[in-house]
């Protein structure tokens, strides 16, 4: 486990009072649906949409086996980038901020009347565990996590441009090789200065703020996801902890997470929408001898097994009796199916 992941695990435990931001769409989260939430354009830009802005993007929850991966975006006027975010509110990489500090900062961003609300616009893309796994487990043309993350990033930025925001600088925490990622984004956004760097969430305040939006949204999404299990956990007496803390950090290295997965695994379906079935931890549990039910699906590419819809139709020759000539008008709209067919 690298140092970054270790840091994130330490700070993964939620604060006692998790702030439920507007980016939490409970129905979509429980249904395993990926979705995007965009804030309104901030007050300061409504009066002058031509103001040059800086924009940052970062993610939270890339490594866990439980819960969504969330991409966060935040933009504000270039002139207030460092003064407001770094000097006034001390934004930093969300992994090194205490949960309550993250929650308070996000609440300030979302609360009308605050300087952050008047100045900053933000957005999140919640990528459900179900959709992540569906892409990674495709039988052909695998949609890997890096590709999914890049597409989410590009679409979030495009949504901001669509709102008419005058974005002049973009800063992003890298996925893979920074130079390759940056060149691709420069082709997509040729009129904007793009910077992709490692540890961008520690270097650029707008990326730090975006990481807070992503992390607080993910923390709250975990709380919502656990609602489906809360009552059964209490009745069974298996987990005394409340909320998402009952299943630990969500990382494969967490003993709580592994124990929760073992206790809640269905032998046929595995787990619900909260679990990334494509992760090795989940696959190993499902494939372990005696833990699950093996299902053999028919081979749809086998001509002998495959049946066409027309195989179930009654042909005209099968309906002719005693070689009587067929009345074409009578059978124009089809023919009755005899009871013996069923």
Which residues are bridge partners to 173 per DSSP?
197
pLDDT at residue 253 greater than cutoff 80: yes
Least confident of 65-69, 132-136, 240-244: 240-244
Instruction: Give the C-alpha separation, 257 to 251, whole Å.
Output: 7
Q: Alpha helix locations (H) across 54-114?
A: 99-110
* Arithmetic mean of pLDDT, 58-81: 96
Least confident of 215-219, 253-257, 308-312: 308-312
pLDDT at residue 71 greater than cutoff 90: yes
pLDDT at residue 256 greater than cutoff 80: yes
Q: How confident is the model at residue 317 (pLDDT cuts 50, 70, 90)?
A: low
Least confident of 12-21, 40-49, 154-163, 190-199: 12-21
Q: Which helix (H) or strand (E) holds 56?
A: strand 52-60
Tally Cβ neighbours within 10 Å of residue 198. Answer: 12
Least confident of 10-19, 59-68, 204-213, 331-340: 10-19
pLDDT at residue 282 greater than cutoff 70: yes
* Arithmetic mean of pLDDT, 185-206: 96
* Arithmetic mean of pLDDT, 190-203: 95
DSSP calls for 212-241: HHHHHHHHHHHHHHHHHHHHHHHHHTS--S
pLDDT at residue 219 greater than cutoff 60: yes
How far apart, in Å, are the Cα atoms of 177 and each of 156, 159, 165, 198? 21, 25, 28, 9
* Arithmetic mean of pLDDT, 326-342: 58
pLDDT at res. 247 = 84
Greater confidence (263 vs 315) lies with 263
- Mean residue pLDDT across the chain: 84
74-95 tens-digit pLDDT: 999 999 999 999 999 999 988 8
pLDDT at res. 335 = 61
* Residue 101 DSSP symbol: H
Q: Which residue has the tokens 């902890």?
A: 241
pLDDT at residue 214 greater than cutoff 70: yes
Beta carbons of 216 and 19 less than 8 angstroms apart = yes
Which residues are bridge partners to 170 per DSSP?
55, 194
pLDDT at res. 227 = 79
pLDDT at residue 337 greater than cutoff 70: no
* Arithmetic mean of pLDDT, 287-305: 70
Percent of the chain with pLDDT over 90: 61
pLDDT at res. 3 = 41
111-160 tens-digit pLDDT: 999 999 999 999 999 999 999 999 999 887 789 999 999 999 999 999 99
Beta carbons of 171 and 195 less than 8 angstroms apart = yes
pLDDT at residue 181 greater than cutoff 50: yes
Percent of the chain with pLDDT over 70: 77
145: Cβ contacts below 8 Å, ≥ 6 apart: 62, 69, 132, 136
Rama region for 337: left / alpha / beta (φ>0; ψ in -120 to 50; rest) = beta
pLDDT at residue 108 greater than cutoff 90: yes
* Arithmetic mean of pLDDT, 47-73: 95
pLDDT at residue 318 greater than cutoff 60: no
Q: How far is CA 37 from the centre of its chain?
A: 12
């Amino acid at each position: 486990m690298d140092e970054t992941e270790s840091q994130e695990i330490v700070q993964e435990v939620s604060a006692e009072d998790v702030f439920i931001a507007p980016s939490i769409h409970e129905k979509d989260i429980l249904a395993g649906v990926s979705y995007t939430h965009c804030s309104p354009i901030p007050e300061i830009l409504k009066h002058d949409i031509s103001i040059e802005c800086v924009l940052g993007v970062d993610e939270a929850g890339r490594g866990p086996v439980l819960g969504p991966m969330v991409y966060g975006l935040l933009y504000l006027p270039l002139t207030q980038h460092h003064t407001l975010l770094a000097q006034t509110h001390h934004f930093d990489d969300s992994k090194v901020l205490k949960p309550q500090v993250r929650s308070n900062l996000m609440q300030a961003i979302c609360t009308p009347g605050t300087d952050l609300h008047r100045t900053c616009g933000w957005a999140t893309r919640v990528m459900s565990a179900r959709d992540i796994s569906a892409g990674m487990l495709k039988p052909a043309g695998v949609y890997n996590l890096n590709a999914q993350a890049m597409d989410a990033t590009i679409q979030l930025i495009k949504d901001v441009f669509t709102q008419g925001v005058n974005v002049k600088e973009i800063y992003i925490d890298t996925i893979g090789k920074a130079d390759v990622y940056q060149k691709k984004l420069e082709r997509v956004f040729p009129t904007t200065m793009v910077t992709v760097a490692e540890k961008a969430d520690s270097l650029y305040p707008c990326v730090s703020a975006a990481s807070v939006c992503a992390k607080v949204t993910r923390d709250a999404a975990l709380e919502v996801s656990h609602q489906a299990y809360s009552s059964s956990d209490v009745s069974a007496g298996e987990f005394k902890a409340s909320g998402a803390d009952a299943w630990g950090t969500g990382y494969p290295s967490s003993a709580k997470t592994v124990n929760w997965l073992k206790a809640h695994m269905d032998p046929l379906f595995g787990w619900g929408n909260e679990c990334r079935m494509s992760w090795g931890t989940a696959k190993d549990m499902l494939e372990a001898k005696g833990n699950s039910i093996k299902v053999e699906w028919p081979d749809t590419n086998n001509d002998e097994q495959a049946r066409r819809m027309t195989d179930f139709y009654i042909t005209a020759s099968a309906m002719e009796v005693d070689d009587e000539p067929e009345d074409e008008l009578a059978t124009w709209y089809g023919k009755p199916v005899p009871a013996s067919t069923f």
